[in-house]
Structure 1
């Protein structure tokens, strides 16, 4: 459920506002949910019974329902005793107040009971969502009981809202965040509402606050030094520690532990859920000039049309994974050996376009983005970016050019190397500012990809990288916002030298080394089912049971197999001890293990041989 790291959420709303459905969507990705029902049944009220039946029918079968209508004080106990790995949904506090005011439960100190509930919510270690009616906008009731109810519920809402990390008001099915103010993060299956950012410098947001970015008259301003959110620094280590307690027959998940750690940190919970909603963004942007040497004319456009029609490798893998696929056209880059790839205006437009793509995905509840690319000359352009940002030698990061017939085209590879060399030489006096690198060398697809990474970081959406364009964009984005790389996961380096170098610079360890070459993005989708399986397994497995008391290791002083002490009493010397020499303590100090004598002739030691005993029994003299 974790909304941007907030584990305690209060959802307010009027009658039939959709508040319960929204609250349920917040915990839809949890493995199991404890649904705490507070309403008292009414056998003589058919309409009320029908409402309760509707709520029950909407709950998944995996949810466990607990009722607190018999004792309103029990709600605080349920919340206070919840475990950190649990998810609780309390629906709702209005019914709880109704029971609290019931004369059958009087006399009661209502103020103290409300304070106990607020304290339990504030200290709750579990993920907690509470639903409550908002009645403060209506007229003052005309009856004493009505006024007592609104006064009590108002006091409850204020106390619980103060204890919660986030407060959301649902009006006509539209969620609006009240605490803290700003953009509302997406919940599973729910659209996300965006509050326009205010003008002014970027504000540091920390791990739980929304991102405030500068806005000019023309829209979003993307500039170096932006302060974007970081993943939860505690959830990742907690998830790894929890893995060590799972009931598995082997030694665990191996290198795939980092998948669980990454998902936990980006979801803000030590028990992350597998990504259900995934979107693939296929960037189609060609590069002109020598960087595209060896590329078949029109091939990239054919690939893009094929993917858009649901055909080809990428589309089929996306369908197998239940992922959406969106083809994104990027501006064509000019030859970098002759001049800048893009103008400054084109770079700004491409960055904003990428940012909006990430926001649109987050708005519809996408939980994971996959970057893909199919433009001509993308690998050489990415190599140029690596050379400019990481000091790489172009020939070392440019993969061999392979023709459609499977032959290596050395001439095309040399043409690409020359184009990258000439482009770097031409731009040697330009700054290495991120936007300048995109303008001089990067091109439209890398610029759009950079905007996607920044927008995804701002909306706390992880990105699965796969290929040169994605890692080149990650290198550029780190100079605009260093937090972006922490939201990136590298599925496989594919044996590509540029990806391997960029991963080393960014500190991104590839999850696998399958050396797939199915096209940028397709390799990631091939690995995605494995990543989902690991997350589902880590969330569903129980912890290792403790061994029973009777299986505990016996004490060294316990009796032997015959009921006697394991070590005989020193006063009861056996016949062998009587035949020993007078120094009987030597036998007690003799080690259990003796070095065996070697076979064949030769001394067993270099020390002088001690005198042998003439005792016919063979016992050593004392």
Structure 2
């Protein structure tokens, strides 16, 4: 599949809109395609419908296989659910499927349950899946009961499948408009193939082919999600403007080549955090009214926040944005991983599910899933070309700028790609002089067992990559091109762009630490804007943090996935910042120790200056109003008590201040 950013897509369109041709263009470069035909054969007396079916068959390349589901519409869900992660399916179309579903031969049937089964199969599908369906929501209401039943069934199926798919596109008059995130920009629908054509000619969503020379066009950044919250309605579903002013029609996750004058090179002069406010904030903590020894090692979080915010009383980070980088590394680096697992994690996060999205929802953090270019096997060839490295660096820089422009106060950098640990280990070996076995974690299978064979193959891949590049330069861009790959290159651009905009970044895992190692050659200031919450017990993170001078704040050994570990620690760090900003100085240092005044009801503790009633008998008592107590004895019960507070009847000398609340002052 040549289109990045989605795994399942629904292509909608009216009659003769070009929806089938567009769907076929999306899978034209797949090595093999299973074409799932849902419509029943044409009746003997319907030559026109038979001609349409024949035209569809002629367009299919010889490498495609065809599977029929007209005999049993319920089997479509089984076909989709049983497809493997390396397969590509094209279902054309759901209109024919709904027609067969409503056929009297298949009644009585539970149409609602069958549609729910289909949606569940699409949601769980690990294969590349393209579904075609007529859009009935814009058509007239049929005048017959059967027509209305078809419209209702197909409309319900379209809604359920659209909700389950990663992306949805509407084809109108041959023009594609993407309705749901996770899809490429609109592309021109290929000209319908006839009997003399071998197949469709696909027009890339990001290039316009002219005389054999592709011209790359910029694309917008991925959508920013807020897990746990309903997605905001688009202000202009038909179009908008990207960060660079380029018009765009829909969000995409494909990596663009940004047309910009930005030059990223070694020795860049970027800003540093405030060198005074950090130490001053830590000194201020010693004056706060805190019982015990204080905040311990978490004082460093306060110092970091103070230096990056430029104030001795830093505020808790809000809003926070998580950048989850998804990039695949081919070759030995991917040994021991489950095929399609990282793509499933990315889809899960993009859909607001999984550990990362749940923690983001609890923390009120935004989530942006970013697709990085796939990296070639580093042991046999460079992971990226020089042009791809430049594009990835500028792309990451732009992501950081967009976050800063949106008011984000903290970036969390995570990754979920295949082979990322081996690629990060190779970068550390090249930049810190480490050995691959010392920085590669053990490989754990899904069943919890240690796979030493896979670990040794990863070590061998790193060793062979370093041997292949032993005579190559070790500049930052050379390391990214030869060893780092797409996700580490994008992460490097993010760190540089965030530094330029004075935006702190919380690292979490080998990819971010490897990117921080690379930034030392480009801009040494970047590491001072990085915070490491927890090393997670990962040897590469430990080594990189030691070289960079980043001391992990915690030692929880969390292993929830890159990005999720940082989000788990984020509430604690926010609480520390809120506490440090709100507490007053200790009373011994001039702090305010007064109790707050009540907001309602008069103060019942207010001193009463009226003459108090005698404590003994009433006016008939013959005892004197006051007399000195007998030595060594107690005062008589009939003695008139002293007033509750100082007043005109007080004759004694006040030796201690009186607190109106009834407590002794001091």
TM-score normalised according to structure 1 size? 0.53
Do residues 302 (structure 1) and 354 (structure 2) align? no
Equivalent-residue separation in structure 1 for 2:582 and 2:572 (angstroms): 15
Task: Using the TM superposition, give the Cα deviation of residue 547 of structure 1 relative to its aligned residue in structure 2, in angstroms.
Answer: 7.3
Equivalent-residue separation in structure 2 for 1:221 and 1:403 (angstroms): 43
Aligned twin of 1:253 = 295
Q: Deviations over 1:80-102 (max 9, x none)?
A: xxxxxxxxxxxxxxxxxxxxxxx
Q: Deviations over 1:307-352 (max 9, x none)?
A: 0000000010001000000000000000001110000000000000
Aligned partner of residue 241 in structure 1, secondary structure? helix
Aligned partner of residue 542 in structure 1, secondary structure? coil
Aligned partner of residue 376 in structure 1, secondary structure? coil
Task: Using the TM superposition, give the Cα deviation of residue 220 of structure 1 relative to its aligned residue in structure 2, in angstroms.
Answer: 1.2
The aligned runs of 1:414-563 (5 Å cut-off) are 414-546=456-588
Equivalent-residue separation in structure 2 for 1:547 and 1:272 (angstroms): 21
Task: Using the TM superposition, give the Cα deviation of residue 217 of structure 1 relative to its aligned residue in structure 2, in angstroms.
Answer: 7.3
Aligned twin of 2:370 = 328
Aligned twin of 1:26 = none
Q: Deviations over 1:244-303 (max 9, x none)?
A: 100011111100000000000000001100001000000000100001100111111000
Aligned partner of residue 402 in structure 1, secondary structure? coil
Do residues 278 (structure 1) and 320 (structure 2) align? yes
Aligned partner of residue 421 in structure 2, secondary structure? helix
Q: Please say if residues 488 and 511 of structure 2, whose CA atoms lie closer than 8 Å, have aligned partners that are also in contact.
A: yes
Q: Please say if residues 325 and 414 of structure 2, whose CA atoms lie closer than 8 Å, have aligned partners that are also in contact.
A: yes
Aligned twin of 2:190 = none
The aligned runs of 1:89-238 (5 Å cut-off) are 218-238=260-280
Task: Using the TM superposition, give the Cα deviation of residue 479 of structure 1 relative to its aligned residue in structure 2, in angstroms.
Answer: 1.0
Unaligned runs of 5+ in 1: 1-193, 197-215, 549-622
Equivalent-residue separation in structure 1 for 2:393 and 2:261 (angstroms): 12
Equivalent-residue separation in structure 2 for 1:479 and 1:319 (angstroms): 36
Equivalent-residue separation in structure 2 for 1:382 and 1:314 (angstroms): 21
Task: Using the TM superposition, give the Cα deviation of residue 219 of structure 1 relative to its aligned residue in structure 2, in angstroms.
Answer: 2.7
Equivalent-residue separation in structure 2 for 1:539 and 1:343 (angstroms): 48
Equivalent-residue separation in structure 2 for 1:217 and 1:497 (angstroms): 38
Equivalent-residue separation in structure 1 for 2:291 and 2:358 (angstroms): 35
Q: Deviations over 1:158-179 (max 9, x none)?
A: xxxxxxxxxxxxxxxxxxxxxx
Find runs of 4+ consecutive structure 1 residues off by over 2 angstroms. 216-219
Aligned partner of residue 220 in structure 1, secondary structure? coil
Equivalent-residue separation in structure 2 for 1:218 and 1:264 (angstroms): 33
The aligned runs of 1:262-411 (5 Å cut-off) are 262-411=304-453
Q: Deviations over 1:7-62 (max 9, x none)?
A: xxxxxxxxxxxxxxxxxxxxxxxxxxxxxxxxxxxxxxxxxxxxxxxxxxxxxxxx
Task: Using the TM superposition, give the Cα deviation of residue 218 of structure 1 relative to its aligned residue in structure 2, in angstroms.
Answer: 4.3
The aligned runs of 1:595-610 (5 Å cut-off) are none
TM-score normalised according to structure 2 size? 0.50
Q: Please say if residues 287 and 589 of structure 2, whose CA atoms lie closer than 8 Å, have aligned partners that are also in contact.
A: no
How many correspondences in the alignment?
336
Q: Deviations over 1:527-552 (max 9, x none)?
A: 0000000000000000011279xxxx
Equivalent-residue separation in structure 1 for 2:561 and 2:303 (angstroms): 27
Aligned partner of residue 376 in structure 2, secondary structure? coil
Aligned partner of residue 464 in structure 1, secondary structure? strand
**Cα distance 1:547–1:373, how it changes in 2: closer, same or farther (>3 A)?**
closer
**Cα distance 1:217–1:360, how it changes in 2: closer, same or farther (>3 A)?**
closer
Aligned partner of residue 443 in structure 1, secondary structure? helix
Aligned partner of residue 357 in structure 1, secondary structure? helix
Aligned partner of residue 587 in structure 2, secondary structure? coil
Aligned partner of residue 474 in structure 2, secondary structure? coil
Aligned twin of 2:137 = none
**Cα distance 1:218–1:358, how it changes in 2: closer, same or farther (>3 A)?**
closer
Equivalent-residue separation in structure 1 for 2:560 and 2:570 (angstroms): 14
**Cα distance 1:217–1:306, how it changes in 2: closer, same or farther (>3 A)?**
closer
Q: Deviations over 1:205-256 (max 9, x none)?
A: xxxxxxxxxxx97431100000000000000011011001000111111000
The aligned runs of 1:37-48 (5 Å cut-off) are none
Equivalent-residue separation in structure 2 for 1:319 and 1:546 (angstroms): 42
Equivalent-residue separation in structure 2 for 1:217 and 1:271 (angstroms): 40
Unaligned runs of 5+ in 2: 1-241, 245-257, 591-666
Q: Please say if residues 320 and 411 of structure 2, whose CA atoms lie closer than 8 Å, have aligned partners that are also in contact.
A: yes
**Cα distance 1:317–1:547, how it changes in 2: closer, same or farther (>3 A)?**
closer
Equivalent-residue separation in structure 1 for 2:279 and 2:291 (angstroms): 22
Equivalent-residue separation in structure 1 for 2:555 and 2:270 (angstroms): 31
Q: Deviations over 1:362-388 (max 9, x none)?
A: 001000000010000000000000000
The aligned runs of 1:59-98 (5 Å cut-off) are none
**Cα distance 1:402–1:246, how it changes in 2: closer, same or farther (>3 A)?**
same
Task: Using the TM superposition, give the Cα deviation of residue 402 of structure 1 relative to its aligned residue in structure 2, in angstroms.
Answer: 0.5
Equivalent-residue separation in structure 2 for 1:507 and 1:230 (angstroms): 15
Aligned partner of residue 588 in structure 2, secondary structure? coil
Equivalent-residue separation in structure 1 for 2:484 and 2:340 (angstroms): 21
Aligned partner of residue 294 in structure 1, secondary structure? coil
Q: Please say if residues 325 and 487 of structure 2, whose CA atoms lie closer than 8 Å, have aligned partners that are also in contact.
A: yes
Q: Deviations over 1:444-485 (max 9, x none)?
A: 000000000000000000000010000000000111000000
Aligned twin of 1:166 = none
Q: Please say if residues 507 and 533 of structure 2, whose CA atoms lie closer than 8 Å, have aligned partners that are also in contact.
A: yes
The aligned runs of 1:556-571 (5 Å cut-off) are none
Aligned partner of residue 422 in structure 2, secondary structure? helix
Q: Please say if residues 243 and 402 of structure 2, whose CA atoms lie closer than 8 Å, have aligned partners that are also in contact.
A: no
